[in-house]
């Protein structure tokens, strides 16, 4: 089926789009957008892939599902549109970057600036109903994003995978730690942030990227 996704990914994922499960998923998502309030806006469902091509991926950050409040989600995990107040998890991520690298906490939570540097900001589930977190769980998105992670893990080398929380760590089990750098920590949500603080994932990521001859990320 024809899916509107960046060309670099379309070729790589063509077989996935032809699977029966993906047609069922697409039918479900189409019906949801027609009958419910769903985020992100339809044209931004694959925004993570639009902003970061397959060739450019250097870092993968895994989230669970999009923010479920109005105006927040725009297709990049943990990111919010300009002008939207920082959600707690993102605020904690910025705090860790400050603690780790000394970079001041920005006023905007829009992480497109990371994506264009090669950070794939991927949610396991790419859509959600208004004010109903995980409402699109187990509809097929996880199978699709599992395939994306496996594709990157199999076909690329020296990618950094940042796995925060059990959900992301389970999804990242297919990644070979001998071929890539896999960094694990607690989720940055307020419930577990004390275990997230001090992980120093951002400096470790950049040290590794420099070591393998890649440009570090300006976090």
Residues contacting residue 189 through CB under 8 Å, at least 6 positions apart = 88, 89, 92, 165
Burial of 35 (0-12, 13-18, 19+ CB in 10 A): exposed
Check if 218 is active-site: no
Sort 158 into a burial class: Cβ within 10 Å, 0-12 / 13-18 / 19+. middle
Give residue 200's region: left, alpha or beta (phi > 0; psi -120 to 50).
Answer: left
Distance CA 48, CA 6 (A): 9
From the candidates 2, 18, 27, 65, which is the catalytic residue? 65
Q: Which residues have a catalytic role annotated? A: 65
């Amino acid at each position: 089926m024809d899916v509107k996704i960046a060309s670099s990914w379309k070729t790589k994922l063509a077989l996935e789009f032809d699977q029966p499960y993906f047609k069922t998923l697409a039918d479900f998502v189409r019906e949801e957008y027609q009958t419910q309030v769903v985020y992100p806006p339809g044209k931004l469902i694959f925004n993570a892939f639009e902003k970061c091509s397959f060739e450019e991926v250097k870092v993968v950050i895994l989230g669970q599902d999009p923010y479920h409040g109005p105006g927040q989600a725009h297709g990049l995990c943990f990111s919010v549109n300009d002008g939207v107040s920082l959600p707690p998890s993102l605020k904690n991520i910025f705090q860790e970057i400050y603690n780790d690298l000394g970079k001041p906490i920005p006023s905007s939570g829009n992480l497109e600036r990371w994506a264009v540097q090669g950070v794939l900001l991927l949610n396991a589930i790419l859509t959600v109903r208004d004010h109903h977190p995980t409402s699109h769980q187990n509809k097929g998105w996880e199978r699709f994003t599992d395939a994306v992670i496996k594709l990157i893990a199999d076909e690329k080398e020296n990618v950094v995978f940042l796995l925060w929380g059990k959900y992301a760590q389970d999804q990242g089990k297919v990644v070979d730690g001998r071929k890539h750098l896999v960094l694990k920590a607690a989720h940055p949500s307020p419930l577990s942030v004390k275990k997230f603080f001090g992980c120093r994932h951002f400096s470790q990521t950049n040290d590794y990227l420099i070591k393998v001859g890649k440009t570090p990320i300006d976090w």
